[in-house]
Amino acid sequence: MFNSVFAAIVPMSCVTLAALASMAAEAFRGRDERMPIGVFGIVGLAGAAVSAALLWNPNPESARASFGVIVADNFGLFVTLVLVAVGILTILFSWQVVDRDGIPAGEYYALLLFSIAGMMMMATANDLLVIFIALEVLSLAVYVLTGIRREDPRATEAAFKYFLLGAFSSAFFLYGIAFTFGLAGSTHLDRIGSYLAAQSLSDNPLILVALGLLLVGFSFKISAVPFHMWTPDAYEGAPAIVTGFMSTGVKAAAFAAFARVFLSSFEPFSADWAPIVWVIAAATMILGTVVGVAQTNLKRMLAYSSIAHGGYLLVGLVAANQVGKAAILFYLAAYAVTNLAAFGVIALLGSRARANDELRDYAGLWYSHPALSALMTICLLSLGGIPPTAGFIGKWYIFSAAVGSGYYGLAIIGVLTSVISVFFYLRVVVMMYMQDRSTDAQPIHITAVSMAALTVAIVAIVYLGILPTQVLNLAAQSIATIF
């Protein structure tokens, strides 16, 4: 265990150093020289994982850094490990895609690692201003990653829309911080929590204004209705591997900060914000599922699927009992691995000239590449909540938490939307197994590194679906450290 006051920032420091090394490697390599720059990212992320493991169960003195604005509690460390897994899988999937699509490797990996460092900061931040800084660090990097294929007008349009709406939501979040500081005299979450606990019986409308503004900022990042408008266009326009990364990493970091702020500092006013989040969760699940059914582009379909999954996570936030709190972290881990693997398959099936992300492009995939279609099937079944996959266990505990807290209506909406969502997931499976392969389909070459990454992800999905107890207990112990 580290004892230094800077111990809490070691994981994100490892990732930041790896990002700087990637930039330096890109600057010094020759024009025609191939250098595995992604190795720097894997080394940095491995260092972050080791340091997070050494920081596990910290004492209060070693858990905090920089006057307590960064906290290495088990909750933040759990999310950090999820982000490490997301980062390593993304780099392994990118190994083939970056060279194939002519993406500048140094720029791509540096932006990827800087955004992960921002995500880690957001998950461990104990101050609203630090959360805002982390939010901007990860957002700016993801904006550029969205439009990294500069020659593609769809990518440029997606990045521009994402940037404009992201700046708009950041303004709401910053105003929320300003109102909170005006009320509590501090942006430190512990002090805000103490102040709001003392004001729990007051009817000060400014508290509700601050709460509402912060809610808007977080809702945008998790693609909650009605702040989801950017999601389908950004997901479709960005490279598939970038889409997988931002649909998992950004959501994990945003939900970590969301839970820390609302289940800890603003918990005394849960009676005021819980009904609002109830409505947002219900609308998010319904819209994400209903509109997703009508999509024929796989990336847009998974974009609306991501919106719906954000609604399921909000159900755990509303329930706010012990089962719901643990289910949030477990669901984040299960969803991250599953969705990233699904987008990994889409990225590997594409080419520089053609994305191959339409539903018809998957016709007869079983006959040309049975291993890839089998792996994709497991991902889709997990997203649909079919046992014995991680997605089923995650939804089971989320809905159980809602029932345990008396939110029967929300649980019923969740179950019904989950059942409907199975239709558009199985539609892809039907295309892969029951349709003939197009005669103009190009042969698919998948590298050993990409197949290994997919295999690891699928093993994790099945493991979390069959033996979830250990991870669930770990999640419950982790989230208990912020209360």
pTM for the model:
0.94
| pLDDT score, position 135 | 93
Round to whole Å and give the CA distance between 114 and 19.
Answer: 6
| pLDDT score, position 438 | 63
The enclosing H or E element of 64 equals: strand 64-65
What DSSP designation does 70 have?
Answer: E
Instruction: Give residues with Cβ within 8 angstroms of 24, minimum separation 6.
Output: none
Query: How buried is 11 (Cβ within 10 angstroms: 0-12 exposed, 13-18 middle, 19+ buried)?
Result: buried
Query: 3-state DSSP call for residue 199?
Result: coil
- Dihedral, CA of residue 416, residue 402, residue 404 and residue 382, to nearest 10: 60
| pLDDT score, position 192 | 92
Dihedral of CA 464/470/473/479: which sign?
Answer: negative
| pLDDT score, position 67 | 62
The residue ranges of the chain whose pLDDT is under 50 are: 1, 62
Span 119-157, pLDDT tens digits: 999 999 999 999 999 999 999 999 999 988 888 888 888
Report whether the peptide linkage leading into residue 370 is cis, meaning its omega lies within 30 degrees of zero: no
Fill in the amino acid letter for 317.
Answer: L
What DSSP designation does 188 have?
Answer: B
Fill in the amino acid letter for 94.
Answer: S
| pLDDT score, position 296 | 86
Round to whole Å and give the CA distance between 271 and 256.
Answer: 21
| pLDDT score, position 483 | 64
Span 15-33, pLDDT tens digits: 999 999 998 888 777 655 5
